[in-house]
């Protein structure tokens, strides 16, 4: 008998946020209840319950635009692993997206990438997760650019939304507004010549704060935005940095960040990247894109 025969995939609701946190905590992932509420209210979270009603597995999808959607939070509690639940839920997410004409997107760990390749996903580009438990002091007057870094204001949002859609490849304005409220000291814009040349957001997590997404015209803008955030957001901190920005990675390592794991951005059914890594200096996180 198939291990999933007596189980059913159900759509989880906001009342299941605490159950999601338990799955994340068991896997030692960083998501907190605010993250799960975002998945459950802005996206679709599929789950599997055991006979007692306990959520034992999950997979989330976030439809960022008419053509694309993000898959993440593929989790199975330890006692139920190796039964095919993760692949079953992932396949459900893919089937729903493809049937709706959307392109599935995700960020994969090395172990996950092996599974996703077999399901038709292709590599776009690679990145590294950099984590700082403490950060060396920064000189307050050394912010690497002539741009003025300031908190995000209401009048900035239309420009940020258009720039983010151009760089990321999909509309995720709801996410950016959520992040701005989650970690206000990291919600920053860099203004040069009267126009926005970059922006940064972040969020509080279960065990550390994530800095990203970070979009900038050049590395100097990226360093300046990160410098301002690092001086005001307490450690520990994490930055998921595309490998093409190796110089920025070396600078972060000088400040006390250490590489913990590689990640691969993947897209289903096509081989070309959907985003612009020349201007994307840090992602929002593998669960968010």
The fraction of the chain above a pLDDT of 70, given in percent, is 96
pLDDT at 144: 67
Distance CA 135, CA 256 (A): 5
Say which residue the tokens 């997107």 belong to.
105
Q: Are the CB atoms for 181 and 158 separated by under 8 Å? A: no
pLDDT at 228: 94
pLDDT at 20: 98
- The predicted structure's pLDDT at residue 143: 57
> Does the pLDDT at position 158 exceed 50?
yes
Domains of the chain, each with CATH number or no CATH: 9-101 (3.40.630.30), 128-282 (3.40.630.30)
C-alpha to C-alpha distance for 8 and 156, rounded to whole angstroms: 45
Evaluate if residue 1 carries a pLDDT over 50.
Answer: no
* pLDDT attached to residue 2: 52
Written as six digits, the tokens of 32 are: 């907190």
Mean pLDDT in residue range 172-199 = 97
| pLDDT mean over 45-72 | 94
Cβ contact 138:223 at 8 Å: no
Q: Do the bridges between strand 237-242 and strand 209-216 make them parallel or antiparallel, or are there none, so unpaired?
A: parallel
CA distances, 62 to each of 19, 83, 139, 201, 257 (Å): 19, 25, 39, 18, 29
- Mean pLDDT across 2-16: 85
CA distance 197 to 116: 35
Predicted TM-score (pTM) of the model is 0.94
Q: What is the pLDDT of residues 72-130, one digit of tens each?
A: 999 999 999 999 999 999 999 999 999 999 999 999 999 899 989 999 999 999 999 99
Does the pLDDT value for residue 135 go beyond 60? yes
What average pLDDT score do residues 232-259 get?
97
Mean pLDDT of the chain: 93
Q: How many CB atoms lie within 10 A of CB 177?
A: 16
pLDDT of residue 65 exceeding 90: no
Instruction: Give the pLDDT band of residue 139 (cuts 50, 70, 90).
Output: low
β-strand partners of 225: none
Question: How confident is residue 5, by pLDDT bands cut at 50, 70 and 90?
Answer: low
Query: Is pLDDT of 6 > 80?
Result: no
């Amino acid at each position: 008998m198939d291990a999933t025969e007596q189980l059913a995939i159900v759509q989880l609701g906001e009342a299941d946020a605490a159950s999601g946190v338990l799955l994340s905590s068991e896997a030692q992932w960083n998501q907190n209840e605010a993250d799960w509420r975002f998945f459950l209210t802005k996206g679709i979270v599929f789950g599997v319950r055991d006979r007692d009603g306990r959520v034992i597995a999950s997979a989330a999808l976030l439809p960022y635009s008419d053509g694309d959607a993000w898959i993440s939070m593929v989790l199975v509690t330890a006692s139920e692993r190796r039964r095919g639940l993760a692949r079953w839920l992932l396949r459900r997410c893919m089937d729903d997206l493809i049937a709706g004409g959307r392109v599935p997107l995700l960020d994969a760990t090395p172990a996950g990438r092996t599974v996703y390749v077999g399901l038709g996903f292709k590599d776009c580009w690679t990145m590294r997760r950099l984590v700082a438990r403490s950060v060396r002091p920064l000189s307050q007057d050394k912010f690497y650019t002539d741009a003025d870094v300031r908190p995000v204001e209401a009048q900035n949002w239309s420009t940020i939304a258009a720039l983010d859609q151009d760089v990321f490849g999909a509309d995720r304005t709801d996410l950016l507004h959520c992040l701005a409220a989650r970690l206000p000291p990291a919600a920053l814009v860099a203004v040069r010549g009267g126009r926005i040349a970059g922006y940064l957001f972040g969020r509080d997590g279960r065990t550390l704060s994530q800095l990203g997404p970070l979009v900038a015209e050049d590395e100097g803008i990226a360093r300046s935005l990160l410098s301002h955030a690092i001086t005001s957001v307490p450690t520990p901190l994490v930055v998921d940095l595309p490998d093409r920005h190796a110089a920025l990675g070396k600078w972060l390592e000088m400040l006390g960040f250490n590489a913990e794991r590689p990640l691969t951005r993947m897209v289903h059914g096509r081989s070309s990247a959907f985003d612009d890594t020349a201007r994307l200096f840090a992602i929002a996180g593998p669960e968010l894109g």
